[in-house]
Amino acid sequence: MASGEPFRLSVLEGVLERVTYANEETGYTVARVDTGRGGDLVTVVGALLGAHPGESLRMEGRWTSHPQYGRQFQVENYTTVLPATVQGIRRYLGSGLVKGVGPRLAEHIVNHFGAEALDIIEHTPERLMEVPKLGPKRTKIITEAWEEQKAIKEVMVFLQTVRVSTSLAVRIYKKYGDDAIRVVREEPYSLAADVWGIGFKTADAIAQAVGIPHDSPQRVKAGIQFTLSESTGDGHCYLPEETLISEAVKILQVDSALVIDCLAELVAEEGVVREKLPDRDGETVTGIYLLPFHRAETALANQLRALLNADQDRLGAFADVDWDRALSWLRSRTGAELAPEQEKAVKLALTSKVAVLTGGPGCGKSFTVSSIITLAAAKRAKIVLAAPTGRAAKRLTELTGHEASTVHRLLELKPGGDASYDRDNPLDCDLLVVDEASMLDLLLANKLAKAVPPGAHLLLVGDVDQLPSVGAGQVLRDLLAEGSPVPSVRLTQVFRQAAKSGVVTNAHRVNTGRPLLLEGMSDFFLFPCEDAEAAAELTVDVVARRIPRRFGLDPRRDVQVLTPMHRGPAGAGNLNALLQEALTPARPGAPERRVGGRVFRVGDKVVQIRNNYDKGANGVFNGTLGTVTAIDPVEQELTVLTDENEEVGYDFAELDELTHAYALTVHRSQGSEYPCVVVPMTTSAWMMLQRNLLYTAITRAKKLVVLVGSRRAIAQAVRSTAAGRRHTALDHRLGRWSQSASA
């Protein structure tokens, strides 16, 4: 080659036979292509975003040699070429690319129209009605799917330069429609706010590609809001101004003076809220809030004040009740005596309009709640019960004999997240009991409080020593803070029956920083193993073979692996892959769907990983568990039966909302109980090893706990109290009112 002559890319044409690996985040794909020249399939690697098996591709790139996998074609860019032969068209249509068309229907269409089939779908789709057994409904589905596919392809070709994944391109298109390319070009940072799965970093890469300067105020303001949004994922409702500025500088790599100027502009535009607050040392700190969190925190404090202060009392019958007589009647109904703490809690819940009941396992929270409900029901009170998760609601129903629902279903959340029940349309109840209240984040607690009618009683029940909510805030802890006007009772007495349980005993020992008791326990075991990879293999063996053999438990239904973190050999990601292979392996002829590096199969345990208000009757929420019951390659839909007994359909483009749930992080398990819990504890999760994490994991088990892993890691978790508190000001807002009320 003459010097200075540009390097020319090679061209490879062929039909994409199968995708062997695809990374949804980077778009990196390994696939096999049939070049039509006979012989072996060719391996191609690179960003084949949006390419589907069955498509004819024209690829530009370079031939390379891999030391392990041999000769490969490295794809730099590609275009889709519509097949011209009858056989190619039949294969293309039947590949699952066009929603509503499977292999059989593809054959009918191609048999009828021959080589003109694609042209007819493109230009005169109404003629599809000529195909036998193809009615107007199916024709409409095929036409819409074809148009959407074309539009998505356009968006994807445009996004190829910044390596945005297929599923994100689909989302961008569904959010903005024909306006997608304009928004991406002109307002890339709005993607981070509008499209789930696109964070600031992806939006920033797109912005860079379309020529937005590094120091653009548009970029810096978006970066500040991103920094605040990220902090809500760590549980913070606000960030101190200094912390925010230094974090934003790190992320944006710009001068701090520019961040300070853009922050001032954001405050003036009401894009964020600045407020002076007391910090934990009593000093004043300047807090910066995203608007929704400031509104929610202020509104929740005001609403709790209004409920506590209400003139009417919908349980007024208990204001002057003869408690000796009432408790004697209760004793005759239940056959059990209330402990003094439980008595106090019963009286409080029925006489105070807002109250909190907290306590650890075995302290009789459930019996206390049941007693409160029995007494309220005797006075014909309208009782409503709720919990943050489907499993917790189910448990509350079983415990009380009264129907309980999830908080989301109770409020009838609508698409977009607004509730049907609110201050203008409150719930019809005299007593609202919410279990597992430690899980209530600020936004949900605010929605719930708004729906309580004036004069009704709100009882929040939960274990404050568990991990705080996944979302921002620490509502239960703030309500129990010193100076809070909300009355509370903490149950501390462990009952004799519960004290015999290794699960209860060790939960309390962990909570008070004492080492575990393992000798002579029939429901609490440790399999010691220091190496993280060996611990992962042992965990799979314990779940799939040892527990079913010894205790007769079903490994998918009854056993839940809870791990401190997602990454690493003994993290949820790797364990899910290993457990799926052990419990739900691939079966010849059984449908499955690959999404990036994951494969979904019928029978898989799955969990929803974002709030989606548009799914199901009243939305499907972060942490909702379920089982895959069907995969339909033609309709491109996967069906999940949730733990609320609701069948929910997922389009294949939405499957990044689901992940496998054979192993969950402890954080994601909150509000759920399982017959058996298996907890891998390794030193590779050192930063996550904290007392409230191990305590939460143990208290998720009803009958049996098995720890697998390092004695050193367990000792570290027992010793280590949780790191610094979350930045919240609900306790301050409530305490301030309490002080002014008593003045």
Question: Alpha-carbon distance 465 to 559, whole Å?
Answer: 24
- Whether residue 297 has pLDDT greater than 90: yes
Average pLDDT estimate for 531-552: 92
Question: Alpha-carbon distance 602 to 582, whole Å?
Answer: 14
| Phi and psi angles of residue 24, each rounded to the nearest 5 degrees, phi first | -65, -30
How many other C-beta atoms are found inside a 10 Å radius of the C-beta of residue 255? 12
Domain end among 80, 96, 129: 80
Average pLDDT estimate for 515-537: 88
Nearest partner of 466 among 666, 624, 685, judged by Cα? 666
- Are 50 and 103 in the same domain? no
Binding site: residue ranges?
Answer: 362-366
- Are 436 and 529 in the same domain? no
- Whether residue 144 has pLDDT greater than 80: yes
- Are 38 and 116 in the same domain? no
459: DSSP letter: E
**110 found inside a domain:** yes
**732 found inside a domain:** no
Greatest mean pLDDT among 34-43, 72-81, 244-253, 361-370 lies in: 244-253
Average pLDDT, the chain: 87
- Whether residue 648 has pLDDT greater than 70: yes
- 470, with CB counted inside 10 A (0-12, 13-18, 19+), is middle
Predicted pLDDT at 500: 77
If you count them, how many residues does the chain have? 743
| Phi and psi angles of residue 684, each rounded to the nearest 5 degrees, phi first | -70, -15
Average pLDDT estimate for 584-591: 88
Assign 161 a pLDDT band (cuts: 50, 70, 90). low
How many other C-beta atoms are found inside a 10 Å radius of the C-beta of residue 351? 18
**298 found inside a domain:** no
Q: Are strands 383-387 and 431-434 parallel, antiparallel or unpaired?
A: parallel
**395 found inside a domain:** yes
In this structure, are residues 50 and 167 in contact, taking their beta carbons and an 8 Å threshold? no
Average pLDDT estimate for 159-164: 63
- Are 400 and 478 in the same domain? yes
- Whether residue 499 has pLDDT greater than 70: no
CATH of the domain at 150: 1.10.150
Mean pLDDT is lowest, of 27-31, 245-249, 271-275, for 27-31
Question: Alpha-carbon distance 426 to 635, whole Å?
Answer: 40
- Are 47 and 113 in the same domain? no
Predicted pLDDT at 616: 80
**640 found inside a domain:** no
Predicted pLDDT at 743: 39
- Are 328 and 423 in the same domain? yes
- 696, with CB counted inside 10 A (0-12, 13-18, 19+), is buried
296: DSSP letter: H
Domain end among 461, 492, 523: 492
Give me the sign of the Cα torsion angle 129, 135, 139, 140.
Answer: positive
**299 found inside a domain:** no
Question: Alpha-carbon distance 576 to 573, whole Å?
Answer: 5
- Are 244 and 265 in the same domain? yes
- Are 688 and 547 in the same domain? yes
- Whether residue 307 has pLDDT greater than 70: yes
**Residues β-bridged to residue 60:** 11, 77
**179 found inside a domain:** no
Assign 47 a pLDDT band (cuts: 50, 70, 90). confident
Average pLDDT estimate for 374-398: 90
Predicted pLDDT at 723: 59
Assign 740 a pLDDT band (cuts: 50, 70, 90). very low
- Are 486 and 510 in the same domain? no
pLDDT digits (tens, 9 = 90+) for 680-693: 988 876 667 788 88
* Dihedral, CA of residue 621, residue 625, residue 628 and residue 634, to nearest 10: 10
Predicted pLDDT at 687: 67
Q: What percent of the chain has pLDDT over 90?
A: 43
Name the residue range of residue 254's domain. Answer: 213-287
- Whether residue 525 has pLDDT greater than 50: yes
**31 found inside a domain:** yes
Question: Alpha-carbon distance 300 to 450, whole Å?
Answer: 8
Nearest partner of 448 among 483, 478, 479, 413, judged by Cα? 413
Number of domains in the chain: 5
Q: What percent of the chain has pLDDT over 70?
A: 93
Q: What's the predicted TM-score (pTM) here?
A: 0.80
- Whether residue 216 has pLDDT greater than 50: yes
- Whether residue 132 has pLDDT greater than 80: yes
Which residue in this structure is represented by tokens 């606000």? Answer: 238
Average pLDDT estimate for 90-118: 82
Domain end among 468, 492, 516: 492
612: DSSP letter: B
Alpha helices for 310-339 (secondary structure H): 323-334
- Whether residue 5 has pLDDT greater than 60: no
- Are 315 and 279 in the same domain? no
Residue 625, helix vs strand vs coil: strand
Predicted pLDDT at 428: 94
Average pLDDT estimate for 322-335: 91
Q: Are strands 701-709 and 284-290 parallel, antiparallel or unpaired?
A: unpaired
- Are 320 and 432 in the same domain? yes
Assign 49 a pLDDT band (cuts: 50, 70, 90). low
CATH of the domain at 31: 2.40.50.140
- Are 320 and 424 in the same domain? yes
Binding site for ATP: residue ranges?
Answer: 362-366
CATH of the domain at 533: 3.40.50.300
- Whether residue 642 has pLDDT greater than 80: yes
Predicted pLDDT at 650: 93
Average pLDDT estimate for 658-672: 87
